[in-house]
Amino acid sequence: MDSRRDFLQKVIAPFIVLPFLSSKEKSCNQSDSDGRVLRVAIMGLGGYGTMVAEAMKDCKRAKLVGVISGTPSKIKYWQSKYNIPEKNCYNYENYDNIKNNPDIDAVYVITPNALHKEGVMRVAKAGKHAICEKPMSVNAKDGEEMIEACKQANVKLLVGYRMHFEPKTLEIIRMRKDGELGKIKFFQGLCGFTIGDPNQWRLNKKLSGGGSLMDIGIYAINGSRYMTGEEPAWVTAQETKTDTVKFKDGVDETIQFQFGFPSGAVASCLSTYNMDNLDRFFLDAENGYAELWPSTGYGPIKGRTNKGELTQPHKTHQTVQMDEMAAIIFEGKKPVVPVDGEEALKDLKIIDAIYLAVKTGQKVDLKL
């Protein structure tokens, strides 16, 4: 199975050479309902930002209207490709001026992890709703400050947990909630790929905040919580590093971590930048089981339970996510699994605890 980075490159490549779309094609994502359309500016025009932009073409409730980037050539390209007016284009020095732009409702921060906090805080100060990629920041302290800033500014803080809207994932959660699986006993989350370019920001602690755990391991952390329906009470963790040149101090290559839950259920998870074919969730319960494999890739997700194969149709994750976020912001809709700052803060607290467990070799208690 290709890594998600390989998949991302394959998805993005065709758009680099395609001719610019016509104005008619670009304006096709107007709402066909009575609900307001969430007008979004994307901050960070890299690979994932491009994927979100492409997915938003099919949104009913969200529309790409602005960009924020430090690269003028990218801004010009996105202007032409997505029909973005000059007045909605900003760089990292002047985007505080979005406070004076009534045509932008929200900013989606898709920058390296360590830059999320500054982006969200400035967006909030400008009076705009903030959507932030995960992990929300590099530690829980930063996350708490981001949440407080958005509360003070009376704006929403949402986080890009696209799997919280994925149909097969939601079906397993429904089965668990309805008691079809019985008492949950065990969860396994395996997340990893072999990372490439050693000079990329993901391997730079100042930008990433860590290594595989911050990038791919967060899926297992978050998945263990929504698959079991519980918050972990303790964590233990061990790190393995085979390449100290590529994975410098503070940049983890492989981490195994274990959770204990109040019910007695346990979890065993792995996060790595040095193994492929790892994108699997498995949930074991007294009356059955559920498996997703792949479990968090860009799609399609595949799954089965003791009752058979899951057949819910695939929908582009980011398209669904952005439409759902519009409903959350404008109508106060409550998703099955939260995507707000408080939800993301719990993952950051767990990440902090995993790194502490690695450092000390001790079990770390969690209070979420």
Domain annotation for the chain: domains and CATH numbers: 8-161 (3.40.50.720), 163-313+341-365 (3.30.360.10)
Query: Which residue is it, tokens 């906090």?
Result: 117
Catalytic site positions: 134, 219
Q: According to the model, what pLDDT value does residue 34 have? A: 54
Give the single-character DSSP code of 253.
Answer: S
Parts of the chain with a pLDDT under 70:
1-34
Read off the pLDDT of residues 305-331 as tens digits, 9 standing for 90 and up.
Answer: 999 999 999 999 999 999 999 999 999
Cα separation of 131 and 233, whole Å? 28
HEC string for 126-178? CCCEEEECCCCCCCHHHHHHHHHHHHHHCCCEEECCHHHHCHHHHHHHHHHHC
CB atoms within 10 A of CB 154: 9
Q: Is 75 helix (H, G, I), strand (E, B) or coil?
A: helix
* pTM of the shown model: 0.91
Cα separation of 312 and 363, whole Å? 39
